Amino acid sequence: MGHHCCSKQKVKRGLWSPEEDEKLINHITTYGHGSWSSVPKLAGLERCGKSCRLRWINYLRPDLKRGSFSAQEERIIIDVHRILGNKWAQIAKHLPGRTDNEVKNFWNSCVKKKLIAQGLDPNTHNLLPPSHNKPNKNHNNPKPTSVFSLHSQPKDVSMDMSIPFSTLLSILPNDDTPSIPIYENQNPNLVWTTQEQNPNTFMETSMGSSVPIISSSPSNTSGFGIVNEENCIWSSNNGFQPIDQLNRQDEMLQPQQQEKKAPSAMEIEKADDILNMDASFGSSNFGFDFVESPLLPCGMYYNTSPVDGFAWDC
DNA sequence: AATGAGGTCAACCGCCTAGTA
DNA sequence: ATACTAGGCGGTTGACCTCAT
C-alpha cells in the first residue's frame, strides 16, 4: 500500500540506483524541487514524491556531512535529547549537515546503548534502577560526576559568557569516560512526571561549598532546565544574570513558582530557540544546562559560584 | 568457506498539521 | 465548516554488512 500521493501511479520502491540519483540531482539542481509531488514526473522517475524528497534530504543534498559522528556531536545529541526527547528533526537542527534520520539511527544504534551501559535510562536520562546498573568503579566517590551548575553571580558568569559555547565544548576532553551524572533536567517525558523537588536544590562542589542547581523541576519556570529570558538577563557588563539576582544579589537563586503543566508547543519552541544560541553568546540568554552532558569526564563541574569562581572541577 | 547473530542505515509507513479550495 | 492535498515527522522495517564461530 502506497501513499495517497503516489497511489495512482506506478512507483518503484527500495534502494535508489545511481541512475535515479543522477536524475533527481540533475532535476533539483536545475529547477529546484518546487512541489515534491511533481518532481518524479518532471525528473523522469518512477518514484513517489515523498520518496524523492526523502532521498534528497537524507542522502543527495550537497550540504550533508558524511562520516561518523564526532564526540562533540554525540554530546550535543545527548544534551538536546535530554531536553527535547525524540524530536529528531529538532535535534538535527543543532547538527549542521546531519539529518533527522541520521541522528535517529545514531541514537538507536549507538548512543542508546552507551547510556544504558552507563546505567542511564535513554528515554529519561535518569539513572536506571539499581538492578539495571552495572557496578560503578567510582562508587566510593559520591561526588556527582557530571553536573553543569550555575551559581548566578554576575561577576563570575560574565567571564564565562565570553566563551563561545562551541569553545566550551571544544575544551572538554573527548574521552567517553563513563560517568554517573546528577540529572536535574529532563526531557518532557520525565519532567512532568517527577515528584516535586526541593526548589532549593544544592550540590556540594569540590571546594566544599554548596551551589544551587538550575533545575527543570516543576518549580523551574522554564520547565526544561533552560534559563530563559523571562527570568534572566544578559548584559555585556555582568553577563548572564537572573532577574532575581539583580534584586537580591546576596541571596541564593530562588526558584519561581510554577504550576505543573504539560509543555506547550510554544515552550518546546522556546527551548529549541534557546538551544539555537549555542554559538551566539552575544544574545540575551543561554541555556546553561545544555552543556551538561552525561559524557563529561568524571568529576567535571562547570562551576560559577562566587566562592569557586569559574572552574572545570575534575 | 559456510553460516548465523547482531549491527547499521536507507527507505517506507502511517500519522499529524498547515494550507487551500 | 469541511474535505482534500502536500509536506514533515517519528517509528519501524528489512536489506546489507561485519564478525565470531
A26 or A155, greater pLDDT: A26
pLDDT (0 to 100) of residue A200? 36
Q: Check whether residue A106 has its CB closer than 7 Å to nucleic acid strand C.
A: no
List the A54 CA – B13 C1' distance (angstroms).
13
Q: State how far the Cα of A236 lies from the Cα of A111, in Å rounded to an integer.
A: 37
Smallest Cα–C1' distance to nucleotide C5: which residue has it? A5
Q: State how far the Cα of A115 lies from the Cα of A159, in Å rounded to an integer.
A: 32
List the A91 CA – B18 C1' distance (angstroms).
22
Cell numbers given for A193 = 512526571
pLDDT (0 to 100) of residue A272? 58
pLDDT (0 to 100) of residue A221? 32
Say yes or no to pLDDT of A194 above 90. no
A130 or A170, greater pLDDT: A130
Helix axes A71-84, A265-275, angle to 10 degrees: 160
DSSP assigned state of A255: P
List the A52 CA – B11 C1' distance (angstroms).
11
List the A22 CA – B6 C1' distance (angstroms).
33
Which residues, including other chains, have CB under 8 Å from residue A192's CB and lie 6 or more apart? A218, A223, A260, A261, A262, A263
Closest by CA to A205, choosing from A107, A60, A295, A313, is A313
Mean pLDDT, rounded, for A162-176 = 37
Say yes or no to pLDDT of A138 above 50. no
pLDDT (0 to 100) of residue A187? 52
SS3 A224: coil
pLDDT (0 to 100) of residue A222? 33
Q: Check whether residue A105 has its CB closer than 7 Å to nucleic acid strand C.
A: yes
Mean pLDDT, rounded, for A205-210 = 35
Burial of A239 (0-12, 13-18, 19+ CB in 10 A): buried
Say yes or no to pLDDT of A226 above 50. no
Average pLDDT over chain A, rounded to an integer:
58
Amino acid at A175: D
Say yes or no to pLDDT of A305 above 50. no
User: Which chain B nucleotides are covered by protein, judged by CB under 7 A?
Assistant: 7-15
Q: Please report which confidence band the pLDDT of residue A122 belongs to, taking 50, 70 and 90 as the band edges.
A: confident
Q: Check whether residue A60 has its CB closer than 7 Å to nucleic acid strand B.
A: no
Q: State how far the Cα of A274 lies from the Cα of A287, in Å rounded to an integer.
A: 6
Amino acid at A130: P
A291 or A265, greater pLDDT: A265
Q: Check whether residue A107 has its CB closer than 7 Å to nucleic acid strand C.
A: no
Q: Check whether residue A110 has its CB closer than 7 Å to nucleic acid strand C.
A: no
Q: Check whether residue A112 has its CB closer than 7 Å to nucleic acid strand B.
A: no
8 A C-beta contact, residue A311 and residue A301: yes
Mean pLDDT, rounded, for A292-303 = 35
Smallest Cα–C1' distance to nucleotide C8: which residue has it? A89
A15 or A209, greater pLDDT: A15
Q: Which structural domains are found in chain A, ordered by start?
A: 1-62 (1.10.10.60)
Closest by CA to A150, choosing from A33, A2, A311, A38, is A311
8 A C-beta contact, residue A79 and residue A290: yes
Angle in degrees, CA A156, A162, A166, rounded to 5: 120
CA–chain centroid gap for A251, Å, is: 30
List the A190 CA – C6 C1' distance (angstroms).
34
Q: Check whether residue A15 has its CB closer than 7 Å to nucleic acid strand C.
A: yes
Complete DSSP assignment for A134-183: PPPTTTT--S-SEEE-----HHHHHHHTTS-HHHHHHTS-----------
